[in-house]
């Protein structure tokens, strides 16, 4: 095994603390809304930190390390193209603000209120199917990481039988995740994810600092320079031969960030968990600062791994990694294991244990959130709308737990039999597009356009899902098909948008009452009136700060504008200069060194800031859950006469 007694002590201590936090939250869960949306009681810092680590996951860490091993520093440059777009989306509350105004517990509940009950059931089925397939490889990727990184035996002898370690590791980790969800639903999930998020960010920053000071910058430069001339890992303007993770990957991603806001429902419980629309919006605004340690980790760690795998001074490490994965037949799986195995050889005792603890936390945080999400969607958006009357509270909670258990069993067996043939993120793109390819047009059109019709929603969803399913089938038949998962997603988004607009314009139905859907005007909810009625201005004024903003909120907005605007200027100026001048790799390496140092300093500040803000938010959330009155009718059931 690769872990010392100190490392294992760290891992089990962190796991014990996670279990304790969940166990302590059991008594707070008293209603269906508590189980589904934490009683809508979370503040911005809790939402931002917890949802961030819930969307991270062991598989996402492995996927990011895998992707950046291919793209190098160049990936970070094109990633800046998303900065301004994400700023506009987050500070304006794009989609999330209006969705929170609907008070829907799930996305498909909003679809029923906006379109029809049949459409809710249909989208619930599509979302559930898409999510299950996408979720299906999570346990496999996580289990392989722990087996290879920790040096666990590939099989164990149990009662005279030789049993593979792979399914055993999956069962243990899935069982812990199930326990978390069953204990207190979204309340337990959000509290556990909050503490895990703080821990993950601290360890990531420590690892980045350790790697930065432990390896010579010249070695890094020499290794990266060995890449082909037009597949540069240093200069983003010499990447024409980089496959898959290139400029076009990010171009699609830019459009997808805006189009698919809230489409992916793996962490859908967080969409409704904020105590009001403004807090949900501010949680999104804070996401960039909260995610800074993760961004650094995913960018710099693969650079170190590439150096050790390709520089002649570290041949012994490359040989060890090669020997460790020599028995793995799948090239896709080999690519996932390279960076983690490099880390297992270079991290010191204590830090290895901390990293394994991070991966355990990331595995559990994503699995408990995804189990909660897909199980909830099956009950809330497929089973419940078929009923003529709502469940009782006890029936409802029992149905949710049964559905969540079914999801866990499905992904376990899917991970056992499915053979991966492409990069993790390309698999995500094409499987996610089964739902997200068409749902973006349906979500945005329904929230912002009163002319959007039910017929248009059906047409858009069928178009997007058909294109994605077709892409999956093509890739199973022809693994090297020239259109990858990301481009199939783009085709789905474009086709669905056109169909939604055309079908809506051809319809003669009267305009939809958006005020009723969004609880505005005479439909306002008394307890949320001060916030919910503070509707953002239209046009460019959407970026302004309304009456609901405190001085602290305004400061956060201003800092966001300055930070994102500054890097946008750097990106625009750098792009123009590189297109008109030849910039050496040495100059680019100096830029990347400065880039890392700036981000490390701000990542440390953000950890302190979010820890303090998160603890304050968590105390308020717990107090609210202890004192608030529950409404048993607040369970997501939509009465047909009210639609």
pLDDT for res 643: 39
Q: What is the pLDDT of residue 642?
A: 41
**Beta 161-164 vs 155-158: how paired, if at all?**
antiparallel
Q: Tell me what pLDDT residue 244 has.
A: 62
Q: Rounded to the nearest 5°, which phi and psi values hold at 484? A: -85, 180
Percentage of the residues of the chain whose pLDDT score is greater than 70: 90
What was the pLDDT predicted at 541?
Answer: 46
d(C-alpha 483, C-alpha 331), whole Å? 19
Range with the lowest mean pLDDT among 234-243, 373-382, 441-450?
234-243
What is the pLDDT averaged over residues 85-111?
78
CA–CA gap between residue 323 and residue 331 (Å, rounded): 14
C-alpha to C-alpha distance for 36 and 106, rounded to whole angstroms: 9
Is 318's pLDDT higher than 80? yes
Q: Give 41's contacts (C-beta < 8 A, 6+ positions apart).
A: 273, 275, 621, 624, 625, 628
Q: How confident is the model at residue 136 (pLDDT cuts 50, 70, 90)?
A: confident
Q: Where are the alpha helices (DSSP H) in 418-533?
A: 424-448, 454-477, 485-506, 514-517, 529-532
Global pTM reads: 0.77
How far is the C-alpha of 267 from the C-alpha of 283, rounded, in Å? 14
- The fold for domain 5-96+106-243+285-418+580-629 equals Sodium/glucose cotransporter (1.20.1730)
Nearest to 614 by CA among 40, 34, 51: 51
Cα 387 from Cα 405, distance rounded (Å)? 21
Q: Mind spelling out the 3-state secondary structure of 207-238?
A: HHHHHHHHCCHHHHHHHHCCCCCCCCCCCCCC
* 458, 477, 68, 218 alpha-carbon torsion, rounded to 10°: -160
Decide: 248 and 426 in contact? Cβ < 8 Å.
Answer: no
What's the confidence (pLDDT) of residue 612? 93
pLDDT digits (tens, 9 = 90+) for 96-106: 788 878 888 77
Asked if the model's pLDDT at residue 548 lies above 80, the reply is: no
Distance CA 635, CA 460 (A): 28
Residue that wins the pLDDT comparison between 549 and 10 = 10
Cα 278 to Cα 52, 532, 545: the distances in Å are: 18, 8, 11
Query: How many Cβ atoms sit within 10 Å of the Cβ of residue 576?
Result: 10
**How much is the average pLDDT of 149-168?**
86
Q: How many helices (H) and strands (E) does the chain have?
A: 27, 2
User: How sure is the predictor about 536, in pLDDT bands with cuts at 50, 70 and 90?
Assistant: very low
Q: How far apart are CA 569 and CA 583, in angstroms?
A: 18
**DSSP label at residue 161:** E
Residue 131 has pLDDT above 50, yes or no: yes
pLDDT tens, residue by residue, 557-583: 888 878 888 888 898 899 899 999 988
- pLDDT tens for 339-375 read 889 998 999 999 999 999 999 988 888 888 888 888 8
Higher-confidence residue: 390 or 347? 347
pLDDT confidence tier of residue 546, bands split at 50, 70 and 90: low
- The pLDDT tens digits for 324-338 are 888 777 777 788 888
Examine the pLDDT at 460 and tell me if it is beyond 90: yes
Q: Is the pLDDT of residue 477 over 80?
A: no
Most confident region among 128-137, 163-172, 331-340 by mean pLDDT: 163-172
**What mean pLDDT, rounded, does the chain reach?**
83
DSSP 560-613: HHHHHHHHHHHHHHHHHHHHHS---HHHHHHHHHHHHHHHHHHHHHHHHHHHHH
At 163 the three-state DSSP class reads strand
pLDDT of residue 207: 93
Domain residue spans in the chain?
Answer: 5-96+106-243+285-418+580-629
Distances in Å between the alpha carbon of 208 and those of 54, 106, 195, 220, 301? 21, 37, 20, 14, 7
- List 35's β-bridge partners, or say none: none
């Amino acid at each position: 095994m690769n872990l010392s007694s100190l490392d294992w002590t760290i891992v089990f201590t962190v796991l014990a603390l996670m279990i304790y936090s969940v166990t302590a939250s059991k008594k707070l869960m008293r209603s269906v809304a508590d189980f589904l949306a934490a009683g809508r009681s979370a503040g911005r810092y809790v939402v931002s930190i917890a949802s961030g680590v819930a969307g991270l996951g062991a598989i996402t860490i492995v996927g990011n390390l895998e992707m950046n091993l291919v793209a190098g520093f160049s990936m970070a440059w094109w990633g800046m193209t998303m900065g301004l777009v994400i700023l506009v989306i987050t500070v304006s509350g794009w989609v999330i603000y209006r969705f929170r105004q609907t008070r829907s517990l799930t996305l498909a509940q909003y679809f029923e209120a906006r379109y029809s009950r049949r459409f809710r059931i249909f989208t619930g089925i599509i979302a559930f199917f898409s999510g299950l397939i996408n979720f299906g490889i999570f346990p496999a990727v996580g289990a392989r990481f722990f087996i290879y990184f920790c040096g666990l035996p590939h099989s164990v002898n149990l009662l005279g039988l030789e049993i593979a370690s792979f399914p055993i590791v999956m069962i243990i980790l899935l069982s812990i995740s199930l326990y978390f969800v069953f204990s207190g639903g979204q309340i337990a999930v959000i509290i556990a994810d909050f503490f895990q998020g703080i821990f993950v960010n601290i360890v990531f920053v420590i690892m980045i600092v350790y790697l930065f000071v432990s390896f010579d910058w010249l070695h890094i430069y020499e290794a990266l320079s060995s890449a082909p001339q037009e597949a540069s890992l240093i200069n983003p303007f010499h990447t024409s031969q980089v496959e898959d993770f290139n400029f076009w990957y990010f171009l699609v991603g830019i459009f997808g960030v805006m189009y698919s806001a809230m489409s992916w429902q793996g962490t859908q419980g967080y969409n409704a968990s904020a105590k009001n629309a403004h807090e949900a919006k501010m949680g999104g605004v804070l996401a960039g600062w909260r995610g800074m340690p993760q961004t650094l980790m995913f960018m710099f760690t693969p650079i170190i791994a590439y150096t050790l795998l390709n520089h002649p001074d570290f041949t012994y490490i490359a040989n060890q990694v090669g020997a460790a994965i020599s028995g793995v037949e799948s090239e896709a799986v080999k690519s996932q294991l390279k960076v983690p195995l490099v880390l297992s050889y270079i991290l010191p005792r204590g830090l290895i244990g901390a990293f394994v603890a991070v991966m355990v936390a990331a595995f559990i945080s994503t699995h408990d959130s995804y189990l909660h999400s897909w199980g909830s969607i099956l009950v809330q958006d497929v089973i419940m709308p078929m009923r003529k009357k709502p469940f009782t509270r006890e029936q409802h909670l029992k149905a949710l737990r049964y559905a969540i258990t079914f999801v866990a069993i499905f992904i376990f067996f899917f991970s056992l039999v499915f053979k991966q043939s492409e990069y993790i993120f390309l698999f995500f793109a094409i499987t996610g597009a089964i739902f997200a390819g068409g749902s973006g047009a349906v979500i945005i059109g329904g929230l912002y356009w009163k002319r959007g019709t039910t017929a248009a929603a059906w047409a858009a969803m069928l178009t997007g899902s058909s294109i994605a399913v077709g892409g999956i089938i093509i890739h199973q038949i022809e693994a090297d098909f020239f259109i990858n998962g990301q481009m199939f997603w783009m085709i789905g988004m474009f086709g669905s948008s056109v169909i939604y607009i055309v079908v809506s314009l051809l319809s003669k139905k009267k305009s939809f009452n958006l005020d009723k859907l969004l609880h505005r005007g005479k439909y306002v909810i008394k307890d949320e009136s001060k916030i919910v009625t503070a509707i953002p201005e239209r046009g460019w004024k959407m970026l302004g700060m309304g009456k609901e903003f405190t001085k602290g909120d305004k400061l956060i907005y201003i800092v966001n504008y300055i930070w994102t605007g500054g890097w946008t200027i750097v990106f625009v100026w750098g792009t123009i200069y590189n297109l008109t001048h030849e910039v050496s790799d040495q100059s680019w390496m100096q830029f990347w060194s400065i880039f890392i140092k700036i981000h490390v300093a701000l990542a440390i500040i953000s950890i302190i800031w979010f820890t303090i803000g998160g603890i304050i938010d968590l105390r308020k959330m717990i107090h609210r859950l202890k004192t608030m009155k529950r409404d048993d009718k607040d369970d997501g059931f939509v009465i047909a006469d009210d639609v």
